Amino acid sequence: MSKRALFAIALMLFSMFFGAGNLIFPPMLGANAGDNFVPAVTGFLISGVALPVLAIIAIALSGQDIRALAARAGTVFTIVFSIAIYLSIGTFFGIPRTGAVSFSTAVSPVTGWESTPASVGFNLVFFAVATWLALNPSGLVDRLGKVLTPALLTLLAVLIVLSLFQLHNPGAAPTEEYAASPFPAGLMEGYFTMDSLAALAFGILVISAIKEQKIANPLPGTTMAALGAGALLGTIYLGLAIMGSRIPEGQSYKDGATLLSHASLQVLGFPGQVVLGGVVLLACLTTAVGLLAATSEFFNYLVPKISYRTWLITFAAVSFGIASGGLETVISIATPIIVFIYPVAMTVIIVTLIGAVVKPILPLYWGFAIPAWGVFLWSVVDKIVTWQSGAPIELPLFNADFTWLAPTLAGLAVGASIDFFRKEDCQRRIAQTNEKIRTWNSIKIIRETDPV
């Protein structure tokens, strides 16, 4: 594959990762981390950049989509896991975030409107337009996306560079969360970008783009594109975090959207603030359209008796209701969902990568299924215990927010042992799983050519 084609695919992947909603987390992290900036931003880059890159590589190893990735854990796990991923990046967080960020970045700072009725009115219009565009695809959204991503990147680059010269914060003590455990706090903040989960859903698009270049094995190209997109993503995140650490009284802002808007006002003036708000608004709108369409298509495929239009209107209505409560409401609703699903997603990604390494020696079936189910059940139990006692289960690496790693490694050890001593059964089950995936793909092709 030519370097030009690879660069174009890496930029496409970056634009998928870098939704306008991602802008709000690094600046706030930079402001709140204070003197603990380095460990906090390290945690953020691990969960916000490294894990999404690994997720893309895991999808490339499966050669298919999210269902093929999770198939070795069984049909029930595959369906539940896929639904959880699409709802997380869709109507429970990703889609409402686009409306809330647009209001906080483009409307409130310019007009001074901050009331709930103003938020309701704005989001009503925002999601009505997004729904109309998702119902009437005309190429407008794609054309806007191709223009808005370079425009947003250019504005951010100017904002970050000028911030280095114009913003001079003498430094502040970290907030309580970042003073006690800066690395886990940064790690959790990176989870909120949702890119690791989103990568599991749209990774197949990258594989398809590489296959269109007449490449038989998409893994090397996908890996290079993921690393390129990750490098660009990490650079932007780091710049935004530094900007947040330099703005005076950064910890006084209620959210990253407000901080970003005020930083643009101080550095670029009122016209720059308006332009940045407008670009973020349009970028959020195109993201909302894409997420609404992707989520509605997935659930229409899952339950074809309910039309795409019905799913779309339902998800838009729910997203409107959540977004109208404001950015803090969106994040508060998303937090327990993210804390629940991320350990499962990370386990699936890590075990897939380990499985690819040991595949020539020991193909893993139970070595995948047991840790996947084990972490899922552990996550359920942990949330029940936390709800009842007010304190989560403490396992090794608890303070680093990696408690999921212990059940993952234990399940992997047990499952790999079963696969080792029952190799023929393992190979038979893997063959059955591959046949199941081929059946799913056949059904998908039939529905695409002859929709129900």
Domains present along the chain, CATH in parentheses: 3-338 (1.20.1740.10)
Handedness of CA 277, 279, 280, 286 (dihedral sign): positive
DSSP 37-70: HHHHHHHHHIIIIIHHHHHHHHHHHHTS-HHHHH
Distances (CA, A) of 228 to 15, 203, 211, 233, 396: 12, 15, 18, 9, 33
Burial class of residue 402 (count of CB atoms within 10 Å of its CB; 0-12, 13-18, 19+): middle
Spell out the per-residue pLDDT of the chain, length 452, in tens.
Answer: 778 888 888 888 887 787 767 888 899 999 999 889 999 999 999 989 999 999 998 888 876 778 888 888 888 999 999 999 999 888 988 899 999 988 988 888 888 888 889 999 999 999 999 999 888 766 665 666 677 778 878 888 888 888 888 887 766 788 888 988 899 889 888 888 888 888 888 777 778 778 777 777 778 888 898 999 899 999 999 999 999 988 888 888 888 888 888 888 888 888 888 888 888 888 888 888 888 988 998 898 888 899 999 999 999 999 999 999 888 888 888 888 888 888 899 899 989 899 888 888 888 999 999 999 999 988 888 777 766 666 665 655 544 456 778 888 899 999 999 999 998 889 898 888 888 877 766 555 444 444 43
Enclosing H/E stretch for 129? helix 116-135
- Give the per-residue pLDDT at 449: 41
Distances (CA, A) of 219 to 2, 49, 53, 230, 273: 15, 19, 13, 16, 42
Residue 396 amino acid letter? P
Using an 8 Å Cβ cutoff, are 94 and 293 in contact? no
- Give the per-residue pLDDT at 128: 94
Using an 8 Å Cβ cutoff, are 173 and 180 in contact? no
- Give the per-residue pLDDT at 106: 84
Residue 160 phi, psi dihedral angles, 5° rounding: -65, -45
Using an 8 Å Cβ cutoff, are 15 and 149 in contact? yes
- Give the per-residue pLDDT at 413: 93
**Hey, is 213 helix, strand or coil?**
coil
- Give the per-residue pLDDT at 121: 94
